[in-house]
Chains A and B, each alone.
Chain A
Amino acid sequence: MATLKIRNLRKGFDAIEIIKGVDLDINDREFVVFVGPSGCGKSTLLRLIAGLEDVTGGTIELDGRDITEVSPAKRDLAMVFQTYALYPHMTVRKNMSFALDLAGIAKSEVEKKVDEAARILELGHLLERKPRQLSGGQRQRVAIGRAIVRNPKIFLFDEPLSNLDAALRVQMRLELARLHQELQATMIYVTHDQVEAMTLATKVVVLNGGRIEQVGSPLDLYHHPANLFVAGFLGTPKMGFLKAKVIHTSAQATEIELASGPRLRLPRDGRSLVVGHEVTLGIRPEHLVIDPQGQLPVITDVTERLGSDTYCHMNTPSDEPLTVRVPGDFFCAYGERLKLGVDVSHCHLFDEHGQAVSHALQQAA
């Protein structure tokens, strides 16, 4: 069992506050991913949990025990660092057994645990090597092995894949997901890569400017972003945003007028909105189609052809960028005038404060 409760956690360096009051619950066996742009405080949050930084305010509880003031060694957590932080003067075996040796565990026991971890990670043949003789991927595995042997309550990962090349990163991502299944452990994982967040997490925590923007399952966040920040952060290519004005609202529908002119009627409960106020319409690339009968006039920009899909980048007459996903091969000439059809039921609407207006149909159900 491992549950972590964070309450009103704050951290400041001198006058600058990095973590501005975070509340979070992490349940047993969850794979929690902290994601956000650089400088959002995600690594600091992880280091506060690890005990590597002193807390300025708030509490951290692990399995009901307050560990806010407990030294890192006594928290029963293990961490995998971005740089791996292997001890360069020790063999792989010594690296993995160091914590157990310090704890004074019997030699035979230590050996058993190291061998077991080496088996899981396929490191058996490398145990007598020094870190500098290993490849990046192997070092990464040793760092994970060092965490596994300690059988910690929670595994902490600080951007563990960011130093690997692209191909290896994909492979290690799969291995981490497999490891989570195999160990049935609670893991907290920090990354700035939303693909890692989407593919690994059972729970994603989106951080921005030292605050939590939204917490939820990856698809929950993708389909129901709570605000403009989350909507813009998750998804590649990015969601397109169009400025608009509220024209008419009712329980069943909201009518808006886009800055570039056209009016759209969205199936949303718009009663929380005020007629005449500014709103933002968010449309993902897959919810747009090129359609001569469409409501949205655009001018094409560049086209990216990936083989399976084609992404056409467009600009509205009011110069707001939009991206359209077209399945398969497709080509738009640069500077062409086209019309786009909008899938109004999948659009996202954000009020003037950037908060999402909930989907009317769901509300009704």
Chain B
Amino acid sequence: MKTEILRALKKRPYGQVLTVPMIVLATYILLALAAPVIAPQNPYDPLQIYGWEASSSPGTPGSGGYLYLLGTDGLGRDILSTILYGLRISLVVSITSAAIAALIGLTAGVSAAYFGSWVDSAIMRLVDLQLSLPTILVALIAIVTLGPGIDRIILALIIAQWATYARLVRSVALSETNKSYMDAARLMRLPTSRIIFRHLLPNSIAPAVTLIPIEIGHAVALEATLSFLGLGVPIDKPSLGSAVANGFQYLLTGQYWTSLFPGLALFGLIASINFVGEDVRRHLDPRSRPV
């Protein structure tokens, strides 16, 4: 057991796993998990918020007995706490939607490739339809249709993102389907389920996996944008995007901290996810060029 781990570590030296973006991302996730413990204030609890301390600048001591390290927003919420709690919402929303979108896209893509004919046309027409519009527009239309709420925004993001996975997986699965080992499997008259799950899926899944981190990054940005436009998460439970939005009106009066810090946190999160995503892609698929 011990030697196995040692061997695995030797094969994969620390340098490949413990990159700076990976460490940053891990820190983000830990902070999000620990938010209720480490946040000075619960920004969702009105009893802990003191309205008269609204728009305090960074470093002001608060009457709750803690320091407003990054200041407070227009409602008197501690920015640091808002960021930590908002991080939870941003991460939950983006990871959930990316995972479900990946699952749907994988199923749709593999089915389209394997069954061909009308299944393929039906799925791919829909995919083409969606991908011919910018993701932000699809998400916008979806959220306008679905209305506000965290569950709705997850749904809107799934709608906006599944097609990307479906197209990628289909093209990979299609080229796999045309390889001789798939013909051999058909000649054995294997049950359809075995052909799909034993032969086609394992060989088509890698590109979808490499896409997940990148799409999580997109999802964070999309959710933030929708929330910023006031179409996403409810105002009393701000995500990072709506935290930035809350600070927008104060920006012109020079209270930069209400939007600067949540935005900085958001930028760091998306950047670390994107860099990790690129590393993952490079390692899993050495042929792929970064795009």
Does B associate with A? no
